[in-house]
Amino acid sequence: MEYSFVVKHLPGKDNVVADCLSRYPPSQISTENGQDDIEHLYHGLMTMDDFYDGELASIFRFLQRPWNQVYPLRIKLQAKSYYIQNGRLFKKLGE
């Protein structure tokens, strides 16, 4: 089976996935079976239930239109820990 692909150079500043992985090393050496890694990832997961619980949905809507003054101050302050990229909500890490 053959694959057709094109190789393109992506500058480091635009390659956020590799940049994030290189700057966010694990805080400890994981166990041989990877259990620590799985637990670490599990605690960082945001499920769809988390999104639809209202608060994250409010943060997402606020970040889409920050000039809207209808949102409570609590949402505006919490929104500082998030950003939207390509229509998706991300939590800022390491701040």
Give, in order, the Cα–Cα distances in Å from 82 to each of 5, 20, 86: 34, 15, 13
pLDDT over threshold 80, residue 23: no
Give a yes or no: residue 5 inside a domain: no
Task: Write out the residue range of the structural domain in which residue 66 sits.
Answer: 46-95
CA distance linking residue 29 with residue 81, whole number of Å? 27
Give a yes or no: residue 15 inside a domain: no
Give a yes or no: residue 72 inside a domain: yes
- The set of residues, in sequence order, having a beta carbon less than 8 Å from that of 84 and lying 6+ positions away, is 60, 63, 64, 90
Number of domains present in the structure of the chain: 1
pLDDT at res. 19: 57
Give a yes or no: residue 55 inside a domain: yes
Give a yes or no: residue 68 inside a domain: yes
| Tens of pLDDT, residues 34-88 | 666 666 665 555 555 555 667 888 888 889 888 877 888 898 899 999 988 888 8
Give a yes or no: residue 71 inside a domain: yes
By C-alpha distance, which of 24, 26, 36 is closest to 93?
A: 24
